[in-house]
């Protein structure tokens, strides 16, 4: 079992492979995903699921900055999404913006989307988990 303080580093390093709390707990060598999730919440004051979403959005943001003219399909495949539709739904669900608007906000350095980031309501959590589970 790795130190819980290393969890964000592990998440950032393996974000393409980690799509669920269970996968993250496994990477951290925890036997119980529930125990891991409780420790994450206690340490970082956010749910493990929300941290995964935030890190995915950060990886998308990074790709948009590094490859401003890249096609959405190419970015989707590079980030482990099955296709551009899954990436589109993920961005729309968690930022409230279309990928085009999200990319514009990222390019302009706007943080407006961050206020809408994360699990926006309970009904979207299920949809988010469905999208994430289709990534790998």
DSSP at 69: T
- What pLDDT does residue 12 have? 95
The pLDDT of residue 98 is: 96
Which pLDDT score is estimated for 46? 96
How far, in Å, CA of 76 to CA of 82, rounded?
7
What SS3 state is found at 9? helix
For the chain, the structural domain boundaries read: 4-48, 56-133
Helix (H) or strand (E) run with residue 61 in it: helix 48-66
C-alpha 49/C-alpha 113 separation (Å) is 18
Q: According to the model, what pLDDT value does residue 2 have?
A: 85
pLDDT tens sequence for the chain (136 residues): 889 999 999 999 999 999 999 999 999 999 999 999 999 999 999 999 999 999 999 999 999 999 999 999 999 999 999 999 999 999 999 999 999 999 999 998 865 555 444 433 333 443 455 455 555 4
Indicate the pTM of the whole model: 0.80
Residue-level pLDDT at 109 = 84
Among the listed residues 74, 92, 93, the one whose alpha carbon sits nearest the alpha carbon of residue 84? 74
Residue reference for tokens 């340490």 = 43
Q: Looking at residue 111, what is its pLDDT? A: 59
> Cα dist. 2→39, 78, 85, 106 in Å?
12, 27, 35, 33
For residue 29, give both structure tokens.
């060598």
CA angle 97, 20, 38 (to 5 degrees): 105
């Amino acid at each position: 079992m790795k130190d819980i303080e290393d969890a964000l580093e592990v998440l950032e390093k393996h974000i393409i492979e980690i799509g669920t709390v269970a996968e993250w707990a496994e990477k951290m060598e925890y036997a119980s995903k529930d125990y891991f999730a409780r420790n994450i919440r206690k340490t970082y004051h956010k749910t493990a699921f929300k941290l995964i979403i935030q890190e995915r959005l950060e990886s998308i943001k990074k790709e948009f900055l590094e490859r401003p003219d890249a096609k959405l399909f190419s970015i989707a495949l590079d980030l482990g999404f099955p296709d551009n539709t899954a990436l589109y739904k993920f961005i729309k669900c968690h930022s409230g913006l279309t990928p085009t608007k999200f990319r514009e906000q990222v390019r302009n350095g706007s943080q407006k989307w961050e206020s809408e980031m994360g699990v926006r309501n309970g009904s979207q959590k299920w949809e988010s988990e469905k999208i994430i589970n289709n990534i790998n």
